Amino acid sequence: MFSWLQRWRTSPLLVRVVPFVIFAALTAGQGLFGEGSKYWIYLAKTVIGLWLIWTIWSVVSEMRWSFSWAAVGVGIGVFGLWIGLDGYYPKMSSSGKAWNPFEHFGAESGWAWLFVAVRILGSSLIVPPLEEVFYRSFLYRYIANADFQTVALGCFAWTPLLATSAVFGIAHLEWLPALLCGLGYQSLVIWKQRLGDAMTAHAVTNFLLGLWVIWKGAWHFW
């Protein structure tokens, strides 16, 4: 196992793709073992995601948080699009009920609040590094050139920009704001020539969306 771990950590392609694939597979598995499993698997996915980030942090040099007001602005703007466009476009079909631990565990359940906290922290701190490394550091550059490490983060090209944003959109039920979100995050990477601003914008969007879900009871966003 440790030799396999060492091998994929030394591959520039695998170290950016494998963690995302593992995380996506766990996401797909939520709810497959009964309604309650979607919450326990999300908890496990968050812990595993943290381990994956810790594992690859030293070898993926661009995976570093960067703060800028532009990143905060894009994050807020994407959040506005996410909730503002709701109900004005057809969404991808969903195979299950909304992610609402209070409905499953009870309105006053401590377990429900635990899973809500895990969801907000996971979506704000674990999801951004893993997804941004895959989409912005790997996929965008790979579409531009199979030898993706030769492509600078600040390189602009229409085909990878539109293709990466389209893939990002299709991966979400809310495909339209997700597509626009992908354009916004990728533009940040190109403009700032670093990944960290997109990670910050992604974190801001997800954190605000989590607060909105709790405040408004808009569980369909989860």
Count up the domains in the chain and report the number: 1
Handedness of CA 120, 125, 130, 132 (dihedral sign): positive
The amino acid sitting at 9 is: R
CA atoms within 13 Å, Cβ hemisphere of 116: 24
Both tokens of 149, joined, read 């490490």
What pLDDT, on the 0 to 100 scale, is given for residue 97? 79
Digit-coded pLDDT (tens) for 105-159: 998 899 999 999 999 999 999 999 999 999 999 999 999 999 999 999 999 999 9
One-letter-per-residue 3-state SS of 51-78: HHHHHHCCCCCCCCCCCCHHHHHHHHHH
For the chain, what percent of residues have pLDDT higher than 70?
A: 96
CA terminus-to-terminus distance, the chain: 34
Tokens of 22: 């593992």
User: Do 123 and 51 form a contact (C-beta atoms < 8 A)?
Assistant: no
Cβ 38 vs Cβ 99: under 8 Å: yes
Residue 160 is part of which domain span? 2-221
Angle at 64 between CA 61 and CA 67, to 5 degrees: 145
pLDDT digits (tens, 9 = 90+) for 27-44: 999 888 888 899 999 999
- Cβ neighbours of 124 (radius 10 Å): 18
| pTM, two decimal places | 0.94
